[in-house]
Amino acid sequence: MLLVAGCVIVRADEGMWMLNRIDPKTADAMKQLGLELTPRELYDPEGVSLKDAVVDFGDFCSGVVVSPNGLVFTNHHCGYGAIQSLSTPEDDILKNGFVAHSFEEERPAEGLFVRFLQRTEECSGRVMRAMDAIYRSHPTVPARQLEREKLDSICREVEREYSKANPGMDCQVKSYYGGNAYYVSIYKVYRDVRLVFTATETLGKFGGDTDNWMWPRQTCDFSVFRIYADKDGNPADYSADNVPLRPKRYARVSIDGFQPGDFCMTVGYPGSTSRYLSSWGIRERVEDRNVSTIQVRGKKQEVWKRWMSQDRAVGIKYASKWAGSSNYWKNSIGMNKAIADLDVIGQKQRLEKDIRQWYSGREDLNRRFGHVFDSLQTAYAARREAVHANGFFSETFMRGIEIYRVASMLNRTPQDVGEAQADATREQLTRFFKDYDARVDEETMATLLQNYREQVKNRDYWPDCYGVIDSLFGGDCGAYAHDLFTRSICVRPDCLDRLLSDSTLRDSDPALRYAQGIPDMMMHISRGMREPNNIISHNERLLTQALMEMDEDAPHYSDANFSMRLSYGYIQDYTAQGRHFDYYTSSQSLLDKAAKQGEIEDYRMEQDIISLLERGDWGRYADRRTHDLHLCFLSNNDITGGNSGSPMFNGKGELIGLAFDGNWEAMSGDISFDSSLQRCIGVDIRFVLFLIDKWGHADNLIRELGVK
């Protein structure tokens, strides 16, 4: 707790709040903590507000517009895919960094886009009325089955209606509060996005897997892009004639610094949380879903790492894929540990006991909610084996063995395919093969096929390829993989043309035959979960509804679903397991780690950067209290995946940092928020500007940002 503002004791609330639903209690709490902006200045669908400076970056991260010329800051790991795609062994900007000193030098990032939220409107009534009509027309079908079968189609119809009324906009309907409410968000999408600045990989990923999800951190996790539009400011595909976007609103950067207790707010796009999930759902997440992620990705990454270390070309090709895989591999490890350490399942069971006591004394409530817990327990038990198999199947065959993507693409392409579709498929294949190495994939296939056999004991969940492995290769997965990769056309970029010139390959090519059995098994596993899924979805929704009704006087936020959210709090340190962690890291802490680079590869750092930090000439970027350069810092903001790149604002709405990670001790945060432990890790904007200025010598950007 913290003493602020006229001796009123206040605490930051957990929560990922919808900007259009900030209730008076939440607004007052933010004001007491130090927010100087009104709710209308945060979100104004009719005018200009802070939300207009925040972007959905590529549908996987967040970002913030920081200049009148459409300059966007996000994390280095958010821009990583684009940076990697623009890198070659001859021009390795992933390793060496990149600085554009003029608009002409900026590099188009193919396929990258940003979305600006225009407004969010509730459409619960429209969705619920449509569902009620379906219930009436199908009186003999269980409501739980109708919900899963019909809701998606109803939401798509609402999206079509909004798209028709808002031409040129991207309209998305999503469920909130466990399916108890629905909102539509309307976005303007810009698809000409260009790379402006990236630091070296050693800075942008400093600490690597060693420090990922850990504190203290020294990672300068930022990259800079620019949004382009046509001459009228409208979205347009890439063209040399496009001009930098003149945004409605941009965030001003602040180099004034901050200290513990100062207000801090994130605005961004958190991806997914499960704070309302039942105790049975949490146990399934720990024992089945996370286990498969940890186990299979661990095996796959061993193979990838060996090849990436031996061959820089492979290292570039697999850099982005490695980052994505290893990030949630370590996340799952940390989540399982934190859920056990903090007794999260026990906490949820005690809450469920309170809910039982709340409804048990009232006939109307008992009629609505009395069956929920027994139904959940039974349904989770019924799908346990299938969920276990599904996790290992997805990680092995869908996310692990890459050649399936090529073979599946070819299997879906008819022999008499039209030229337009053929060209589109060739373009997809070109993108795939740019970042693919068949040697790596062959070893990955051999390793993961053997691993799946060992982890999923029920042969009913084995795809057809195991019959071939056992009958023709004596059970040797490595021999099967080598034969497949030796004989298949799917390892070659011209595979589509070869298939279209020889239709007999559809029956003889080993990779095409391998891929044919994967969807069938996937459907088989899914059918085994269908009825339990219906029951669980229906009753988890009722459980959320019961909790909200039981505690109806308290503000409630919805689980994250990659829609714009705000979290608020303040700068704060923490103590865990008897160790105190300060709220910031200094330049010396980076130098101390860099001194260990001979022992720890993730602490590797170029000598010119070490020399720059050793000089200690921080200038205007020095902290006014410590006179040092602050690198990263902590707040108690509530964030999760997708928040990466989210702007961290002070009470005036000025940019003080970019959120990029959470701390190890609170990795259960997607399930349960612990206010004493959970922290948001951000890169200090002064560290960002120092590198742009002193390392990149990008005076053009410093002037554009208006840094004083």
Could you tell me if 349 and 391 lie in one domain?
A: yes
CA distances from 324 to 79, 118, 546, 641 (A): 12, 30, 37, 11
CA distance 633 to 680: 8
**Which of the residues 254, 563, 644, 668 is marked catalytic?**
644
Out of 76, 77, 388, 538, pick the active-site residue: 77
Q: Which of 52, 170, 211, 221 is catalytic?
A: 221
- In the structure, what pLDDT confidence band is assigned to residue 553 with cuts at 50, 70 and 90? confident
Give the HSE-up count for residue 252: Cα atoms under 13 Å, Cβ half-sphere: 10
pLDDT, mean over the chain: 95
Residue 504 has, within 13 A of its CA and on its CB side, a CA count of 0
DSSP track, 29-56: HHHHHT--S-HHHH--SSS--GGGGEEE
Question: What tokens were used for 221?
Answer: 């996790």
- Each residue's pLDDT tens digit, 192-225: 999 999 999 999 999 999 999 999 999 999 999 9
Q: Specify whether the CB–CB gap between 210 and 602 falls below 8 A.
A: yes
Site of tokens 């390829």: 465
CA distances in angstroms from 577 to 117, 190, 676, listed in the order given:
42, 46, 12
Lookup: tokens for 263: 């207000």
Which of 190, 205, 240 is the last residue in one of the domains? 190
Same domain, 106 and 120: no
Cα(282)–Cα(322) distance, integer angstroms: 27
Average pLDDT over residues 643-652: 98
Q: What's the pLDDT at 537?
A: 94
Given 548, 574, 602, the domain boundary residue is 548
Contacts of 622 (CB under 8 A, 6+ apart): 628, 629, 686
User: Under DSSP, is residue 684 helix (H, G, I), strand (E, B) or coil?
Assistant: strand
Confidence of residue 135 (pLDDT cuts 50, 70, 90): confident
Burial degree of 341 (CB within 10 A; 0-12, 13-18, 19+): middle
The whole-number average pLDDT for the span 58-75 is 98
Would you call 550 exposed, middle or buried from its count of C-beta atoms within 10 A (0-12, 13-18, 19+)? middle
Report yes or no on 559 lying in a domain. no
- The pLDDT, as a whole number, for residue 555 is 83
DSSP 90: S
Percent of the chain with pLDDT over 70: 98
Kindly state whether residues 376 and 290 are assigned to the same domain: yes
Helix (H, G, I), strand (E, B) or coil at 231: coil
Angstrom distance (rounded) from CA 221 to CA 241: 31
Q: What pLDDT score does 21 carry?
A: 93
Q: Is residue 626 part of a domain?
A: yes
Q: Give, rounded to a whole angstrom, the gap between the first and last alpha carbons of the chain.
A: 34
Residues 416 and 531 in one domain: yes
Residues 467 and 415 in one domain: yes
One domain, residues 298 and 318: yes
- For residue 243, the surrounding DSSP H or E stretch is strand 243-244
Classify residue 583 by its DSSP letter.
S
Q: What is the pLDDT of residues 225-271, one digit of tens each?
A: 999 999 999 999 999 999 999 999 999 999 999 999 999 999 999 99
Are 673 and 605 contacting, i.e. CB atoms less than 8 angstroms apart? no
Give domain status of residue 638, yes or no: yes
Of 130, 156, 190, the one marking the end of a domain is 190
What is the token pair recorded at 515?
Answer: 């891929």
Tell me whether residue 325 is one of the annotated catalytic residues. Answer: no
560 Ramachandran zone, left/alpha/beta (phi>0; psi -120 to 50): beta
10 confidence band (pLDDT: 50, 70, 90): very low
CB distance 278 to 579 below 8 Å: no
Rg of the chain in Å (alpha carbons): 26
Q: How far is CA 619 from CA 203, 281, 468, 615, 622, in A?
A: 20, 52, 67, 11, 6
Q: pLDDT per residue over 382-419, tens digit each?
A: 999 999 999 999 999 999 999 999 999 999 999 999 99
553 within domain boundaries: no
Instruction: Report residue 3's pLDDT band, with 50, 70 and 90 as the boundaries.
Output: very low
Q: Domain check: are 541 and 583 in the same one?
A: no
- Sorted by sequence, the CB contacts under 8 Å of residue 381 that are 6+ apart come out as none
Q: Known catalytic residue: 423? A: no
Is the pLDDT assigned to residue 6 strictly greater than 80?
Answer: no
Residue 134 pLDDT = 84
Q: Which domain holds residue 65?
A: 2-113+191-269+564-705
What does the pLDDT read at residue 554?
A: 82
Which of helix, strand or coil describes residue 268? strand
pLDDT above 70 (res 8):
no
pLDDT of residue 206: 97
Same domain assignment for residues 633 and 687: yes
On whether residue 554 sits in a domain, the answer given is no
- pLDDT of amino acid 12: 54
Is 524 within the bounds of a domain?
yes
> Same domain for 162 and 179?
yes
Per-position DSSP letters for 385-438, written without gaps between them: HHHHHHHHHIIIIITT-THHHHHHHHHTS-TT--HHHHHHHHHHHHHHHHT--H
Is 630 designated active site?
no
pLDDT average, residue stretch 572-592? 96
For 602, the token pair is 């993730």
Residue 557 forms part of a structural domain: no
CATH number at 690 reads 2.40.10.120
Angle at alpha carbon of residue 102, lines to 97 and 106, rounded to 5°: 55
User: What's the number of domains the chain is made of?
Assistant: 3
Q: Which residue has the tokens 């999760």?
A: 640
**Does residue 491 lie in a domain region?**
yes
Q: Report d(CA 259, CA 262) in Å as an integer.
A: 6
Q: How many residues does the chain have?
A: 708
Q: Out of 140-154, 459-473, 488-502, 550-564, pick the least confident.
A: 140-154
Average the pLDDT over 681-707 and give the result: 97
Please list the helix, strand and coil fractions of the chain in percent, rounded to the nearest 5, in that order: 50, 15, 30
| 489 and 434, same domain (yes or no) | yes
**Both 292 and 264 in a single domain?**
no
The residues, ordered by sequence, that sit 6+ positions from 214 with a Cβ below 8 Å of its Cβ are 207, 663, 664
Quote the tokens at residue 125: 């009534």
Pair 256, 283 in one domain: no
Q: Is the pLDDT of residue 5 over 60?
A: no
CA of residue 356 relative to chain centroid, distance: 35
Q: What is the pLDDT of residues 287-309, one digit of tens each?
A: 999 999 999 999 999 999 999 99
